[in-house]
Copies of this chain bind each other. A is one copy, B any other.
Amino acid sequence: MRYSLLAGGKRVRPILCIAACELVGGREETAMPAACAVEMIHTMSLIHDDLPCMDNDDLRRGKPTNHKVFGEDVAVLAGDALLAFSFEHVAVSTVGVSPTRIIRAVAELAKSIGAEGVVAGQVVDIDSEGLSDVGLEKLEFIHLHKTAALLEGAVVLGAIMGGGSDEEIEKLRKFARCIGLLFQVVDDILDVTKSSEELGKTAGKDLVADKVTYPKLVGIEKSREFARKLNKDARDQLAGFDPDKAAPLIALANYIAYREN
């Protein structure tokens, strides 16, 4: 659990969670357990994703994948325990938030990873491998669930913990969905334009696995154009907030859009 959780990574989700909390007037420490929980869940999904029966990846965050070091059985269990601990951590360690809001956060967190969230995207993704009729609509479903759902969970949890109104939470939810699609479009582009060394993980694997990607459907240039549009749409959602407090989220959107790995 520690090996994969503390292996570095961009920490995009916990940063989103804390930034969303601060945007609606909350404090960093109020969102910290939720931020850690979201990163635990992200790590768990990476550990399980990397298994031989899934993406069969040897490298993650520049290090051998969990099952390469500890064996497949322990990797499955480490993921399970990280998933369970994420809920325990939110329930036990969140301070200064009403119990009703904590319960709402638990429900949102669960939904973001489960059969209506990340898992939905992964299953449709698996079912689509090797199919020739995967269009933009299905690709968007996959990304909105596989990638955006947990980013959405991160900002929604942050906003819940920070005392955000329902209206604020919904704007942040839309922001996260744009960012989520953006993140995946950029990931697709990087996979075909960068080396394994530059990425810290195996490059070109989407091509090898015959997966549908934005570059494959619409080409690299149109993919980059779509990324720019998503970045703008995301920033538009933040227009009604205090610009100083929205700045970190806008910077994060730009970071996602223009990252190199």
Please tell me if the beta carbons of A119 and B77 are within 8 angstroms of each other in the complex: yes
Q: How far, in whole Å, are A77 and B76 apart by their CA atoms in the complex?
A: 11
A100 interfacial contact with B, CB 8 Å: yes
A72 interfacial contact with B, CB 8 Å: yes
Please tell me if the beta carbons of A74 and B123 are within 8 angstroms of each other in the complex: yes
9-residue interface stretch from A85-93, A160-168, A170-178, A204-212: A85-93
The 8 Å CB contact of A113, one of B44, B51, B78, B84, is B84
Decide yes or no: A87 and B106 within 8 Å by CB, A73-B126, A76-B48, A80-B79 being known contacts. yes
What chain B residues lie within 8 Å of A7 (beta carbons)?
none
In the complex, residue of chain B having the shortest beta-carbon distance to the beta carbon of A122: B77
What chain B residues lie within 8 Å of A122 (beta carbons)?
77
A65 to chain B, nearest CB (A): 14
Give the bracket for the number of chain A residues in contact with chain B.
35 or more
Please tell me if the beta carbons of A114 and B85 are within 8 angstroms of each other in the complex: yes
The 8 Å CB contact of A51, one of B44, B76, B83, B114, is B76
Please tell me if the beta carbons of B115 and A85 are within 8 angstroms of each other in the complex: yes
Report A109-121 CB contacts with B as 1/0, cut-off 8 Å.
1110111010100
A53 interfacial contact with B, CB 8 Å: yes
Please tell me if the beta carbons of B114 and A84 are within 8 angstroms of each other in the complex: yes
Residues of chain A whose beta carbon lies under 8 Å from any beta carbon of chain B: 1, 44-45, 48, 51-54, 71-74, 76-81, 83-85, 87-88, 91-92, 98-100, 102-104, 106-107, 109-111, 113-115, 117, 119, 122-123, 126
